[in-house]
Structure 1
């Protein structure tokens, strides 16, 4: 299995994040990708290749052009306002506030284009996010060219990013960009299986009214876990997409045995849907030692996950999402890939 990775993804290097009411050391940091890359090479998963250059159009097929332009121009506007440190939004256009006005000030724009206060933007955020999306696009192209599987070592992650907003450490929705690219290049049915501990709210919203992309997510119950406002079991799609979204929210403390029932249900949906390609949003934060999560996976469980997905017999694109127990991240990730490859 080939791995796609770009060093440009390491440029986004936040120092802090807002969590639990205080500034804390950031957990979505470059070493996440470096540990995964190290394990991929040491365990001989396959060739590691650099991503191709893509025009911005595949990103615009998923994200609003004005949002993409905001991310690209953000740092110059931030520094023009006299700021020099990484940025956090602090005001949002919710409920009774207007959302139909054009805002000029960078602080207002940060709120306009964000979903939380815990996702810092810095000088190189856009460069890293663009490289992350191109990593997913290149891996998708490998499947179009005949590969049966590929691993997009994406960082920053993507599944919380929506049509015109960032959050949850995510800026461009890499899995969604790859899915739309596969659709635009002739494939009819794409499935996205999100196994990250947190619900992929951005991915769900992007495809919620469409039958050509099946979205399945197994995650912590949003009544008690981020992102809180999406990911409930009664969310099943709308309009033409009715029935093509499925969520399995699980309680804190869920271990592999408690997880497998939902996984088997998701696999049955995949067998019925018969996708041309399955994209796995590969979050690794179900691990028992993850600092911001509450499930109880052990490292060996990730072999079992990969083995179960392989039994589906579907061409598969793995896209790295979350996972913040850095010392074990490479091991857990490669366990999935090796389990899948047999």
Structure 2
């Protein structure tokens, strides 16, 4: 089963297996691997109402899902052909071909993402105390307000209903139109990666009470968001440039995955081509970028997930077969080719 050249590659790790979600035609498909090497495509589609031009897709795993009877689940969030924010979920303990169920998105959020928005997601506090904090990020343009990256949250405090929680409001048009988004969440912090209007690859670092860079001390704005059940205060909203524009492809895809160093996730992007080097897949971690083998098909996306403690899988499209999905693997020491995940026919 081939995939669109510009299909999002939404990778999910359960700790003991990998799931990859991608688009072909108008359908959203799933493939699974227990070891990252051998992949089995699901016989059922997640959805059949995606856009012909490619729909934004993100997915996340929850071990203790308070929104679904505290069971082990996977959620897939996407924007359909009518540009409506949609969500599907399945309970993994149902086994085999578990049924996907539609999760209602509040009316106030269904049309919130702008036409060029991408999606990102993450989970924190996935334990038997909080039963998960679930996050989704997208770009929106509220009436009479500037374009911004919106963060919505679902947890026990808000009755498991999506609501705004952490919006990255900065100077107008600071985010590059159509920028990719990637999110990396731990219990203590949340990081959002995007490309700004100066074409730099930047990150925001924050928690549940504030968005503030761990490296920078240049506050951009201050604001308060109140809800019936929750009140969030955000101060010292900062961004940190992690890769300057001269090293980043314009409109680069972005993906992120955990590492064995909690504060230094892997962040994947495409380098800017030069007279001597073609555009290449890069792995940024802790201040250093490493080139990854495998070519980059122009206009394609990246996906990434970590299996176990430090085995990282990167999903991409190669120039030689852009309808297929290829993978690379990092074993803690170096990157290696990991073969084809989805074939071109």
Report if TM-score (shorter chain) is over 0.5: no
* TM-score of the two chains, using structure 1 as the length reference: 0.33
Higher relative contact order at CA 8 Å, sep ≥6: structure 1 or structure 2?
1
Q: What is the TM-score with the length of structure 2 in the denominator?
A: 0.33
**Structure with a larger share of its residues in strand:** 2
